[in-house]
Amino acid sequence: MCSVGSLRANLYAYAAAGAISVAATSAFAACTGPGAPTDTQTKCLTAVPIPGNPLRSFDISWVNPDRAEYYLADRSNSGIDIIDTQHNTFKRRLGGFVGVVLNSAGTAVNNNVSGPDGVTSHGRWVYAGDGNSTLKVFDLDALPAFALKQNISTGGTTRVDEMALTTDGKLLLAANNAEDPPFGTLFRANGDQPVSSVAILSKVTVSPAIIPPHFGLSLEQPAWDPKTARFYVSVPIIANNPTGCNFGQLSGPITCDGGLLVVNPATLHAGTNVIGAFDPTTNTGVGPLNKCSPNGATLGLHDNLLLGCTPQNNPSDRETLVINAKTKNETLIEDITGSDEVWFNKGDFRYYTGSSRDCGTPGTCPAPGFPGFGVLGVIDGTSVLIEKIPQSSNSHSVAADSMRNFIYVPQVAPVSIVGSGGDITTVGQGICGGSSGCVAVYKHDVDDDEDGEHHHDDTH
């Protein structure tokens, strides 16, 4: 296990080194440097190069282990990149997205209108959100030129972001996180049928007393729990949590924590559903969280949800939270935060966090606005932090193949190559073996574990 002291020293050294030239990195082998430590249980296996433009901007990723495929929402190349997880090679790209859209000054990526964004899959079907408020539906079994089967508007002006499917693949909940106020859309999805017939069933908003409009508040990653038959959606900031906190109505830093939106799709009606405070009798509504302003959400063992808390939403939130979907009991995990996408791997019963700005280690966020360092967080099924592995500074996406125990972490190209949004350290170059970015492949060999944690039993 990599010590906190050595991790911090490595991170500072690499941040101070800054970006280095293309020529200096062209001969690098993959899986070198701080992103490939030898003393961690999770080891860098290889790096998959992505053809086309260097990776400047990407969003969520997903794995379908039955098809042995990994899907990355690659805005830099305006498509969903598909990697063969059996051979860890690039396979093909699903195109037709708006790609990278810059801000009005042309200096940075405007994530709110860029795409693709959220992505998920079931069987032959891939669902992905675009920056123009559309959901795109792809048939993986169709000829590439005919893979795009549907392009459905959610009625907004900004991106369709993170999403989740029910276990049978018949219902999809997607969040328009950048709308003000934000909303979710429940779709009838394709399940296992051979023809696409995706359609909007209803919309979900949150009471303005909980998410006040006109302050840029949002809805983030949902997760589905088949035992409770509910969607659980991360809400980064809610009003009056605690009472009188600043959600943006006052000057100064945000002081409100976030919430967890619980949605029962069986009770939603056609049209717009306004959801209020949590009601324990129906197990629906928005419940307040303690010391967590989450982006990511993933379902682990025994109905436990790990939420990707981040100080990017509330600067005082420096921990990660696990909450039980049934009891609502909470467990805080110290020294790991800054997570966007989080993932539970059923193959090794571990959580993985895409922590682009980890500020959990004391000293790594010495000043307000400091971006922090990217890490891959590894947490076991009992909510114990196992290790943190340095990543490129904006590597916020993670997904795992549960059949092969491969963990996939995209790496941005250096800032010297792509500009704003690029890696401000040299960690990604060492992992990728080059300066165009890549998808790093980590391996957790459960046979090498000494703690026997992979012997858990769960009915999911």
Q: What are phi and psi of 388, to 5 degrees?
A: -130, 130
Which CATH superfamily groups domain 58-423?
YVTN repeat-like/Quinoprotein amine dehydrogenase (2.130.10.10)
Give the start-to-end residue ranges of the domains of the chain.
Answer: 58-423
Q: What are phi and psi of 180, to 5 degrees?
A: -135, 100
pLDDT confidence of residue 54: 98
CA distance 417 to 102: 16
Q: Where are the alpha helices (DSSP H) in 120-184?
A: none
pLDDT confidence of residue 317: 87
What angle is formed at CA 376 by the lines to CA 373 and CA 378, rounded to 5 degrees?
130
3-state secondary structure of 151: strand
pLDDT confidence of residue 5: 40
Question: Cis (ω within 30 of 0) for the bond into 226?
Answer: no
pLDDT confidence of residue 53: 98
| Of 88, 74, 161, the residue nearest 411 (C-alpha) | 74
* C-alpha dist (Å) from residue 191 to 115, 199, 200, 285: 24, 13, 15, 27
pLDDT confidence of residue 364: 61
Burial zone of 451 (CB within 10 Å; 0-12 exposed, 13-18 middle, 19+ buried): exposed
pLDDT confidence of residue 446: 82
Count of all residues that appear for the chain in the document = 460
Half-sphere exposure of residue 139: CA atoms within 13 angstroms, side-chain side: 17
3-state secondary structure of 407: strand
CA distance 222 to 442: 25
| Of 368, 235, 203, 366, the residue nearest 305 (C-alpha) | 235
User: E strand or H helix at 340, and its extent?
Assistant: strand 339-345
Q: Are strands 183-188 and 199-206 parallel, antiparallel or unpaired?
A: antiparallel
- Which parts of 360-447 are beta strand (E)? 373-380, 385-390, 399-401, 406-411, 438-444
Positions in the chain whose pLDDT score sits under 70: 1-28, 360-372, 449-460
Question: Cis (ω within 30 of 0) for the bond into 194?
Answer: no
Task: Quote the pTM value.
Answer: 0.91
Question: Cis (ω within 30 of 0) for the bond into 181?
Answer: yes
DSSP string of 271-320?
SEEEE-B-BTTTTBEEEE-SS--EEEEEE-GGGEEEEEE-TTT-TT--EE
* C-beta separation of 161 from 220 below 8 A: yes
* C-alpha dist (Å) from residue 445 to 34, 47, 323, 350: 20, 17, 27, 12
**Sequence-distant (≥ 6) Cβ neighbours of residue 201 within 8 angstroms:** 171, 186, 187, 188, 268, 270
CA distance 356 to 350: 19
